[in-house]
């Protein structure tokens, strides 16, 4: 059985080879090739295009498509696997995606051809949940902007949210999305003494947190709102001008999930007009963030360059997690 693993600048060739060693030990012949980009920003630009436009938006270069008919398994993180690639893969039995989202793979077409598609749900749970909590603390306690002021020679104690900052203890945190990351954020916040509400159309199960039935109820009650939904046609702009008008004046919005969940222009206006107290954002419609973007002119937003998931654990563990899923799917055993 032959496997093509497509590395990139986040999961490089060495990381891929080390992470897939359990497959190699089972006799699978693994070839690692690289989807090459000049830098991380170029890779991220292609990734965003695929997330918005789907697996057919970008074609694989010829060095990656040569000999595809020889492989039984293809493993990718960001490299696109569209119809043309799938049609070329005459022996393909399994497609593995080293991430939770599979926007870069034409899953429906692959499965129509009898190809199993696996992803790695939960791989970013630790990295993104920890970052989200960090963004909450940075925004409500003015950590980033105080650092900036002091480094520029300004001893400042008064910020857009006032002289006395709020605490997580006693604050109501509203989580929009209660999947693996949302639930982990809740677990991290409970020891602070926060009251946690969540909105999620799909979650069923027991929880110590309070589920609300409507998005409107959550945005009206929460002091801190954190986004953790998947981006789909139905969830695009799910937070917009209408919702900002319902929020408390002291509300803070955190988005470490997908930019399209929140209408950027509406958020910028809500911050500019002080309809809400602040925001912390790690994801954007256009990346890198343009210098003339309205966020850059606001003093009540913390912005970071899409780094929530950028941890060693996140990327290095992904091939290991996927290997376990592949072994289970193929029912391989060591002889």
Residue 92, Cβ density class (10 Å: 0-12 exposed, 13-18 middle, ≥19 buried): buried
The token duo for 108 is 């429906």
**251-307 pLDDT, tens per residue?**
999 999 999 999 999 999 999 999 999 999 999 999 889 999 999 999 999 999 999
Q: Which helix (H) or strand (E) holds 265?
A: helix 264-272
pLDDT bin (cut points 50, 70, 90) of residue 334 is: very low
Residue holding tokens 């563990």? 317
Does residue 37 carry a catalytic annotation? no
Domains of the chain: 2-119+311-330 (3.40.50.720), 124-303 (3.40.50.720)
What integer pLDDT is reported at residue 51 of this predicted model?
84
Q: Which helix (H) or strand (E) holds 94?
A: strand 94-97
**156-183 pLDDT, tens per residue?**
999 999 889 999 999 999 999 999 999 9
- Give SS3 for 191: helix
Q: How many C-beta atoms lie closer than 10 Å to residue 107's C-beta?
A: 17
Residue holding tokens 């910028």? 268
Dmax (CA) for the chain in angstroms is 68
The token duo for 316 is 């290095």
- Cβ burial 248-279 (10 Å sphere, 16+ → b, else e): beebbbbbbbbbbbbbbebbbebbeeebbbbb
Q: How many C-beta atoms lie closer than 10 Å to residue 34's C-beta?
A: 17
**47-60 pLDDT, tens per residue?**
889 988 889 999 99
d(CA 277, CA 271): 7
The arithmetic mean of pLDDT across residues 125-150, rounded, is 97
Does residue 258 carry a catalytic annotation? yes
What integer pLDDT is reported at residue 331 of this predicted model?
78
Q: Are 236 and 259 in contact (CB under 8 A)?
A: no
Which one is predicted more confidently, 52 or 16? Answer: 16
d(CA 268, CA 295): 6
User: Which is the catalytic residue, given 287, 293, 331, 335?
Assistant: 287
User: Which is the catalytic residue, given 258, 269, 293, 324?
Assistant: 258
Q: How many C-beta atoms lie closer than 10 Å to residue 224's C-beta?
A: 25
Question: CA end-to-end span of the chain, whole Å?
Answer: 15
d(CA 80, CA 77): 9
The arithmetic mean of pLDDT across residues 187-194, rounded, is 98
d(CA 202, CA 176): 11
d(CA 52, CA 8): 20
**196-220 pLDDT, tens per residue?**
999 999 999 999 999 999 999 999 9
The arithmetic mean of pLDDT across residues 86-95, rounded, is 95
Dihedral (CA of 218, 220, 225, 228) sign: positive
DSSP character string of 2-38: EEEEEE-SSS-HHHHHHHTHHHHHTT-EEEEEE---S
User: Which is the catalytic residue, given 123, 145, 228, 306?
Assistant: 306
What integer pLDDT is reported at residue 335 of this predicted model?
38
Does residue 287 carry a catalytic annotation? yes
**95-127 pLDDT, tens per residue?**
999 998 888 999 999 999 999 999 998 889 999
What integer pLDDT is reported at residue 52 of this predicted model?
84
Q: Report whether pLDDT(332) > 80.
A: no
The arithmetic mean of pLDDT across residues 248-253, rounded, is 97
What integer pLDDT is reported at residue 333 of this predicted model?
40
Q: What is the pTM of this model?
A: 0.85
Measured in residues, the chain has a length of: 335
Residue holding tokens 């982990």? 184
Q: What percent of the chain shows pLDDT beyond 70?
A: 99
């Amino acid at each position: 059985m032959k496997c093509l693993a497509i590395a990139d600048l986040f999961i490089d060739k060495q990381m891929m080879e080390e992470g897939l060693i359990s497959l190699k030990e089972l006799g699978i012949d693994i070839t690692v090739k690289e989807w090459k980009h000049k830098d991380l920003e170029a890779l991220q630009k292609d990734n965003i295009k695929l997330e918005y436009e789907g697996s057919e938006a970008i074609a694989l270069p010829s060095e990656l498509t040569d000999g595809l008919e020889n492989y039984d398994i293809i493993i990718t993180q960001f490299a696109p696997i569209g119809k043309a690639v799938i049609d070329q893969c005459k022996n393909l039995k399994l497609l593995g995606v080293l991430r939770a989202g599979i926007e870069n793979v034409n899953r429906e077409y692959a499965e129509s051809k009898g190809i199993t598609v696996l992803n790695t749900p939960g791989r970013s749970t630790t990295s993104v949940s920890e970052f989200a909590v960090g963004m909450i603390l940075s925004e409500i306690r003015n950590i980033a902007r105080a650092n900036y002021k002091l480094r520029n020679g300004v001893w400042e104690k008064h910020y857009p949210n006032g002289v006395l900052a709020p605490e997580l203890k006693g604050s109501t945190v509203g989580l929009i999305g209660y999947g693996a990351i949302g639930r982990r954020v809740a677990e991290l916040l409970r020891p602070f003494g926060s009251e946690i509400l969540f909105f999620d159309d799909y979650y069923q199960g027991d929880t110590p947190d309070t589920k609300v039935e409507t998005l409107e109820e959550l945005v009206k009650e929460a002091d801190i709102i954190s986004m953790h939904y998947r981006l789909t046609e139905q969830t695009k702009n799910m937070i917009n001008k209408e919702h900002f008008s319902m929020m408390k004046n002291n509300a803070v919005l955190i988005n470490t999930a997908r930019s399209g969940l929140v209408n950027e222009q509406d958020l910028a206006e809500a911050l500019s007009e002080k309809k809400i107290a602040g925001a912390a954002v790690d994801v954007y419609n256009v990346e890198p963030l343009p210098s003339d973007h309205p966020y850059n002119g606001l003093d009540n937003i913390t912005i970071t360059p899409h780094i929530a998931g950028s941890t060693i654990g996140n990327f290095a563990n992904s091939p290991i997690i996927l290997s376990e899923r592949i072994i289970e799917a193929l029912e391989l055993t060591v002889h």
